[in-house]
Amino acid sequence: MTKVIVYARVSTSKQDLQRQLSLAKDYCTLRGYELVDKIVEQESGTKQNRKGIKQLLSLTKEDCDLVVVSELSRITREEEFQRVFSKIDTLRDNGIGIVFLDNPDVVYSKENPISFTQFIMLGVKAQGAREELMKIRDRMKSGRVAKLKANPYMVTSSQISFGFEKYANPNYILGQTPKSLIRINEKEALVIRFCYDMACNGKSCQKIADYLNTTGNIHRHNKGEKLWQAAEVAKMLRNKLYIGIRTIEGVTHEVIPIVSEEVFNLASECISRNRCIIAKESRFNPLKGLLFCGDCGLPMSIVVNNVGKQTFKCLYASYHRKNPNKKYKICNNNYVYVDKVLETVWNATVERLKSDEYYGKSKITIRDCKRQMKNIENEHKQITNEYNEIADDIRKVIIQLDKITDSFLLEILQEKYSSLKQALDAKEKEIRRLGNLHTELENKIREMRSEVKFNEQMTIHEKATFFNKTFLRVEWLGKKFKRKGTLTIHYKNGDRIDIEMANK
């Protein structure tokens, strides 16, 4: 007698597990099979390493002859078809057949190789499971957004930010209000405020982490096993939740702040300034990441020459030494004195920012960005319409595949399906690319509209911040056998100036 194990899965306790088991029992009774065991689990179908699926894939011929599942989506809702087929192949390789009760006459087993038609039908079902997953995710997202709008303190994940704690909603109504909410944990809030105070007083993230570790303030997310790390402190100091801004699913909500916006901004500024400072204050480079060689294009770094003066020198020799097998353009650029570059760059930029040409260039660039954004929006709309049309065509092909049995027609439809799927993936990729371009242009306009503040009394660290906000890049190209060259400044607004500079 054929021995059968039934596999059943639900995502939540609200779903009907008994229905799947009853269908499997009726199937076995009708065919005279022996139902010897069942594998039942309550997990999302998107999870790969589920306990139940591991148990299922470890079954052998000695355990059973056949596995019965109500439908393919019970096995998995993964987005990659290859993984879907691999699970079926694993059972077949173990000598076990598998049948899905939405098509009970087809058994996938080692003795019965998967035909071309069956392969197509499995692909169609996998695509259907994936699309249903997308619908479920969209419904969950819209549900979360609606509930968060009504109550911005709703718990949305198992990971609660440091400084907050989870508690049961006393006004919970099933399906209408959040089950759990967050509130400020006053003990942790004191630690957060102290960290911001330390940052505002010039302490680095590493020093703040060291202090927290030596005073016994263990991060609860580390379960007492690990100490605070500088990266965790930096992430905490950047978390806008602490100034009352909670962003979920791209929507911003207001909650009670732990620190003021002024303290948050001051701490961010101080931490950024600390990052700019290198080990030796005397070697601080305010043009770090901005100054490049005008000959080979590699970065220029500060080195001290044989008479003790600081110079910017191209890193060609260093790059070539570290990567001898990589071909670099041979560089003939000479060094340039640091103080001369900084003085020239500062004076030229201050003068440029006061000119009508600079702001005129900003207006032109903003206008050009808006024009590009409009073109992107139109293109995005057109491609989205094309995407929807292809998706409709795919749905029609899937319906036809369910009805047609002629192998020749099935092969034609399979080719059409593959072609449409490739076109759909290409459109989806293009939509993402256009979205990223649009965001980049929005950020560029925002940067150019923000006021650039400067004064003659700025420290070297403040100038470094100023340079990073204003410059796209700076290039130095020396003239061979002459102590002069050209310093080119490229501004973020698209403006550019070339300065003939003496290097002495």
- pLDDT digit string, tens, across residues 3-62: 999 998 887 665 567 888 888 898 999 889 999 999 998 887 667 778 888 898 899 999
Domains of the chain listed by start with CATH number: 3-137 (3.40.50.1390), 189-276 (3.90.1750.20), 283-355+458-502 (no CATH), 360-449 (1.10.287)
CB atoms within 10 A of CB 219: 20
More confident residue, 275 or 435: 435
In whole numbers, what is the pLDDT of the chain averaged over residues?
81
Which candidate, 470, 182, 213, places its Cα nearest to that of 348? 470
**Average confidence (pLDDT) over 429-452:** 82
Ranges 31-40, 96-105, 291-300: which has the least confidence: 96-105
Q: Could you tell me the two tokens for 117?
A: 């038609």
List phi, psi (to 5°) of 127. -65, -40
CA distance 299 to 301: 7
Residue 282 pLDDT: 55
SS (H, E, C) 305-360: CCCCCEEEEECHHHHHHHCCCCCCCCCCCCCEEHHHHHHHHHHHHHHHHCCHHHHH
Quote the pLDDT of residue 144: 62
* Cβ-based neighbours of 169, under 8 Å, separated by 6 or more: 177, 178, 179, 180, 181
pLDDT at residue number 473: 93
pLDDT reported for residue 278: 39
**200-232 pLDDT, tens digit each:** 988 888 889 888 888 877 666 545 456 788 888
CA nearest to 293, candidates 487, 475, 471? 475
Query: Quick one: average pLDDT of 268-286?
Result: 67
- The mean pLDDT of 325-332, rounded to a whole number, is 78
- Residue 503: pLDDT above 90? no
Confidence of residue 145 (pLDDT cuts 50, 70, 90): low
Q: What is the mean pLDDT of residues 73-90?
A: 69
For residue 186 the two structure tokens come to: 């006053």
pLDDT for the residue numbered 279: 42
Q: Could you report the per-residue pLDDT of 380-416, keeping only the tens digit for each?
A: 999 999 988 988 888 888 777 777 777 777 778 778 8
How sure is the predictor about 135, in pLDDT bands with cuts at 50, 70 and 90?
Answer: low
Q: What are phi and psi of 171, to 5 degrees?
A: -105, 30
Residues above pLDDT 70, as percent of the chain: 84
**What percent of the chain lies above the pLDDT cut of 90?**
18
pLDDT greater than 70 at residue 107: yes
Identify the pLDDT of residue 173: 82
- pLDDT score, position 147: 65
In the block, tokens 């919970």 appear at: 172
pLDDT of residue 345: 92
Give every CB contact of residue 122 below 8 A, 6+ residues apart in sequence: 72, 84, 85, 88, 114
Instruction: Summarize the chain as % helix, strand, coil (round to 5).
Output: 50, 15, 30
The larger pLDDT score, comparing residue 16 to residue 374, is at 374
pTM here? 0.39
pLDDT at 162: 86
Q: Is the pLDDT of residue 259 over 90?
A: yes
Cα–Cα distance between 315 and 461 in angstroms, integer?
23
Residue 73: pLDDT over 70 = yes
Q: Indicate if the pLDDT at residue 127 is higher than 70.
A: no
